[in-house]
A and B are shown apart, each in its own frame.
Chain A
Amino acid sequence: MDFQFPVRTASLLYELDKKLMVLLRDGRTLIGYLRSVDQFANLVLHKTIERIHVGNQYGDIPRGIFIIRGENVVLMGEVDKEKEHCPQLQQVSVEDILNAQRKEQEVKQERSRMLAKRLKERGLSFVPDLINDDLF
Chain B
Amino acid sequence: MLPLSLLRTAQNHPMLVELKNGETYNGHLVNCDHWMNINLREVICTSRDGDKFWRMPECYIRGSMIKYLRIPDEIIDMVKEDQVQRTRQRDSNRGGRGGSNQRGRGGHNMRGGLGNRGGKNPRNPLALKKSK
- The residues of A with any CB-CB pair to B shorter than 8 Å are 3-6, 13, 16-17, 24, 26, 33, 35-38, 42-44, 46, 63-69, 72, 131-133
Q: Please tell me if the beta carbons of A66 and B68 are within 8 angstroms of each other in the complex.
A: yes
Number of residues from B at the complex interface, CB < 8 A: 30
Q: Please tell me if the beta carbons of B72 and A65 are within 8 angstroms of each other in the complex.
A: yes
- For B36, the closest partner residue in chain A by CB is A69
Whether, in the assembled complex, B94 has its beta carbon less than 8 Å from a beta carbon of chain A, the answer is no
Q: Please tell me if the beta carbons of A36 and B6 are within 8 angstroms of each other in the complex.
A: yes
Q: Which of A4, A6, A43, A63 contacts B3 (CB 8 A)?
A: A43
Q: A43-B3, A65-B75, A72-B20 are in contact. Are A36 and B126 (CB under 8 A)?
A: yes
- For B3, the closest partner residue in chain A by CB is A42
Measured between C-beta atoms, what is the minimum distance from A102 to chain B in Å?
11
Q: Please tell me if the beta carbons of B67 and A26 are within 8 angstroms of each other in the complex.
A: yes
- For B124, the closest partner residue in chain A by CB is A6
* Per-residue contact bits, chain B 49-76, to A (CB 8 Å; 1 contact, 0 not): 0000000000000010011111111011
Q: Which of A6, A26, A35, A132 contacts B131 (CB 8 A)?
A: A35
- The residues of B with any CB-CB pair to A shorter than 8 Å are 1-4, 6-7, 20-22, 36, 48, 63, 66-73, 75-76, 121, 123-126, 129, 131-132
Q: Please tell me if the beta carbons of A72 and B6 are within 8 angstroms of each other in the complex.
A: no
- For A3, the closest partner residue in chain B by CB is B125
Q: Which of B68, B76, B124 contacts A72 (CB 8 A)?
A: B68
- For B7, the closest partner residue in chain A by CB is A67
Query: How far is it, in angstroms, between the C-alpha of A26 and the C-alpha of B7 when the chains are bound?
Result: 23
Query: How far is it, in angstroms, between the C-alpha of A69 and the C-alpha of B72 when the chains are bound?
Result: 17
Residues of A within 8 A of B75 (CB): 65
Q: Which 6 A-B pairs have the closest CB atoms?
A: A42-B3, A3-B125, A68-B68, A67-B69, A35-B131, A38-B2
Residues of B within 8 A of A68 (CB): 67-68
